[in-house]
C-alpha cells in the first residue's frame, strides 16, 4: 500500500528531479530537448526507483501504426508447405493488429523468379517499417537486404537463411544439425553397397542452406566412421517428369542405391518414382509434413519426415518484428526451430 501523499511513476520522478512530467517523458522515450545534466539526473532517479515504463500504453497513446510487409512463396498444387507459415503469420496478425500494427502479404511463385522481383518492386514502392522474408531466391534476396540496410529497415528471415546478412533475426531450422540427423536416419536402411543418394530438387541449387545441410549430412558418416558412397543429384526442374527422368538416370548408373535423402519438401516426387518403379524398399528420408508427403508416409514409402514447425516460424517471425518495432524489446538474433521426426506410426498424432 502506498504511503499517504507519496507519488509514483512519472510524477514521482518529476518531483524528485524538480522538472516537468513532459521532461521526464522525453528522457524515457529518448527524445531531444533535455540537457545532458538533467537527463543524467532523471536516469539516476529512474534507476533508483526501478521504474518500468508502460511502453505499450505509450505506444497506443501515440496513435502510430507500424506497417509490416510479408514476402513469402505461395502454396501450390505441387506442395502446400507455405500454407503453414502463412497460417502462423495470420495468427500473429490477429493478436497484434489491435496494438497499431498493419500487415500486408505479398506472395511469389517458387518456380518463377520474376514474381519475386515483382513483389520486391511493389514493396519498395510503398512505405513499410519492417519485413518478414523467405529468401528463396538468394541473390535477389541479398539485393533486397541491402536495400533494407540502406533504409535502416529491420527484416526477419524465416525457413532459410543467408550468410552474413544483417537481418534482425533468423527463425528456422538448424540446417547443419538437420542434415546430420538426415544421414543418421538414412543409415538405418543401408546394407552392403553403402550407397546413399542426396537429392536436391530446386531451381536455386548450390545456396548456403543446401551446403549446410550437405555438410551436416556427410559429417554424421565421417564422425561415426560409417562407410558411405555419396551420390549427389541436383534437379533444377521441379515437375515430376523431370524428377523421374533424373532419378532414372541415377539408378541406371547406380542400381544398388540403398537410401535416399531429399533436402526439401519435394520428397513426395521421389516417393512417387520409387512406387512406380517398384523400389519402395529403399530407405527414403525427406522434409516437411505436407499433404503430399503424408500420403506416402502412410503407405510406408517415405520412412521418415524431418519437420521444423513452419507455422511457428511465421508466427515467431511476426512477433519478433512487433516486439522490435512497437515495444522496443530485444529479440533473438537466431531462433532455431525444434527438429521433429515423423513416421508412419506417429503421423496421426503430429500437429
Per-residue pLDDT tens digits for 313-340: 999 999 999 989 988 888 999 999 999 9
Mean pLDDT of 105-119: 93
- Strand segments, DSSP code E, in the chain are 66-73, 101-108, 130-133, 155-158, 169-172, 195-201, 229-235, 259-262, 283-287, 304-307, 334-336, 340-342
More confident residue, 108 or 351: 108
Give the pLDDT confidence of 197-243 residue by residue, as tens digits.
Answer: 999 998 776 566 788 999 999 999 999 999 999 999 999 998 999 99
Q: CA 206, CA 263: separation in Å to the nearest integer?
A: 12
Q: CA 351, CA 345: separation in Å to the nearest integer?
A: 14
- Residue 59: the pLDDT is 61
Beta bridge partners of residue 334, listed in sequence order:
170
Query: Buried b / exposed e across 203-218, counting CB within 10 Å, b at 16+?
Result: ebeebbbbebbbebbb
Residue 298 CB: number of other CB atoms within 10 A? 12
This prediction has a pTM of: 0.80
At residue 2, does pLDDT exceed 50? no
Give the pLDDT confidence of 18-76 residue by residue, as tens digits.
Answer: 998 889 878 876 778 899 999 999 888 887 877 766 666 666 666 678 999 999 999 87
- Residue 108: the pLDDT is 95
At residue 3, does pLDDT exceed 50? no
At residue 182, does pLDDT exceed 90? yes
Cell numbers linked to 131: 519485413
- Residue 249: the pLDDT is 97
Closest C-alpha among 230, 285, 217 to residue 257: 230
Query: Buried b / exposed e across 45-80, counting CB within 10 Å, b at 16+?
Result: bbeeeeeeeeeeeebeeeeeebebbbbbbebeebbe
At residue 152, does pLDDT exceed 50? yes
More confident residue, 87 or 65: 87
- Residue 54: the pLDDT is 65
Residue 170, C-beta contacts closer than 8 angstroms, at least 6 positions apart: 156, 157, 158, 161, 333, 334, 335
Q: CA 287, CA 293: separation in Å to the nearest integer?
A: 8
Beta bridge partners of residue 158, listed in sequence order:
171
Q: CA 111, CA 121: separation in Å to the nearest integer?
A: 18
Cell numbers linked to 75: 502454396
Task: Give the three-state DSSP class for 202.
Answer: coil
Q: CA 213, CA 84: separation in Å to the nearest integer?
A: 22
Mean pLDDT of 1-6: 40
Task: Give the three-state DSSP class for 123.
Answer: helix
Which range has the worst mean pLDDT, 27-31, 194-198, 247-251? Answer: 27-31
Task: Report residue 169's pLDDT band, with 50, 70 and 90 as the boundaries.
Answer: very high
Ordered structural domains, the chain, with CATH: 9-53 (1.10.260.40), 65-172+310-337 (3.40.50.2300), 175-307 (3.40.50.2300)
Mean pLDDT of 156-163: 92
- Residue 124: the pLDDT is 92
Mean pLDDT of 85-92: 96
Mean pLDDT of 141-155: 95
DSSP one-letter string for 49-74:
HT----HHHHHHHHT--EEEEEEEEP
Mean pLDDT of 243-266: 96
Residue 235, C-beta contacts closer than 8 angstroms, at least 6 positions apart: 199, 200, 201, 202, 242, 243, 246
- Residue 5: the pLDDT is 37
Cell numbers linked to 47: 534507476
HSE (side-chain half, CA atoms, 13 Å) at 204:
20
The DSSP output letter for 160 is: S
Report the percentage of the chain scoring pLDDT > 90: 71
Mean pLDDT of 105-110: 94
Which range has the worst mean pLDDT, 71-80, 138-147, 166-175, 244-253? Answer: 71-80
Amino acid at each position: 500500500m502506498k504511503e499517504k501523499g507519496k507519488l509514483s511513476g512519472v510524477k514521482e520522478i518529476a518531483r524528485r528531479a524538480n522538472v516537468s512530467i513532459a521532461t521526464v517523458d522525453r528522457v524515457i522515450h529518448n527524445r531531444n530537448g533535455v540537457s545532458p545534466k538533467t537527463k543524467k539526473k532523471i536516469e539516476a532517479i529512474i534507476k533508483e526507483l526501478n521504474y518500468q515504463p508502460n511502453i505499450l500504453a505509450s505506444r497506443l497513446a501515440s496513435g502510430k501504426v507500424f506497417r509490416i510487409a510479408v514476402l513469402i512463396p505461395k502454396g501450390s498444387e505441387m506442395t502446400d508447405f507455405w500454407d503453414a507459415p502463412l497460417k502462423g503469420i495470420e495468427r500473429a496478425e490477429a493478436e497484434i493488429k489491435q496494438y497499431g500494427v498493419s500487415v500486408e502479404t505479398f506472395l511469389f511463385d517458387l518456380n518463377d523468379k520474376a514474381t519475386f522481383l515483382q513483389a520486391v518492386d511493389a514493396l519498395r514502392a510503398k512505405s513499410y517499417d519492417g519485413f518478414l522474408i523467405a529468401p528463396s531466391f538468394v541473390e535477389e534476396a541479398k539485393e533486397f537486404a541491402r536495400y533494407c540496410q540502406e533504409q535502416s529497415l529491420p527484416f526477419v528471415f524465416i525457413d532459410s537463411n543467408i550468410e552474413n546478412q544483417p537481418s534482425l533475426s533468423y527463425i528456422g531450422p538448424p540446417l547443419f544439425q538437420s542434415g546430420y540427423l538426415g544421414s543418421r536416419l538414412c543409415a538405418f536402411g543401408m546394407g552392403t553397397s553403402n550407397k546413399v543418394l542426396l537429392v536436391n530438387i530446386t531451381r536455386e541449387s548450390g545456396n548456403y542452406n543446401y551446403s549446410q545441410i550437405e555438410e551436416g549430412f556427410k559429417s554424421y558418416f565421417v564422425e561415426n566412421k560409417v562407410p558411405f558412397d555419396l551420390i549427389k543429384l541436383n534437379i533444377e526442374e521441379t515437375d515430376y517428369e523431370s524428377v523421374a527422368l533424373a532419378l532414372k538416370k541415377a539408378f541406371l548408373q547406380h542400381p544398388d542405391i540403398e537410401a535416399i535423402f531429399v533436402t526439401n519438401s519435394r520428397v513426395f516426387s521421389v516417393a512417387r518414382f520409387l512406387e512406380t518403379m517398384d523400389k519402395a524398399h529403399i530407405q527414403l528420408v525427406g522434409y516437411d509434413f505436407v499433404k503430399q508427403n503424408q500420403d506416402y508416409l502412410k503407405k510406408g514409402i517415405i520412412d521418415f519426415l524431418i519437420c521444423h514447425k513452419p507455422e511457428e516460424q511465421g508466427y515467431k517471425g511476426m512477433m519478433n518484428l512487433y516486439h522490435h518495432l512497437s515495444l522496443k524489446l530485444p529479440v533473438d538474433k537466431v531462433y532455431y526451430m525444434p527438429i521433429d521426426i515423423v513416421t508412419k506410426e506417429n503421423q496421426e498424432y503430429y500437429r
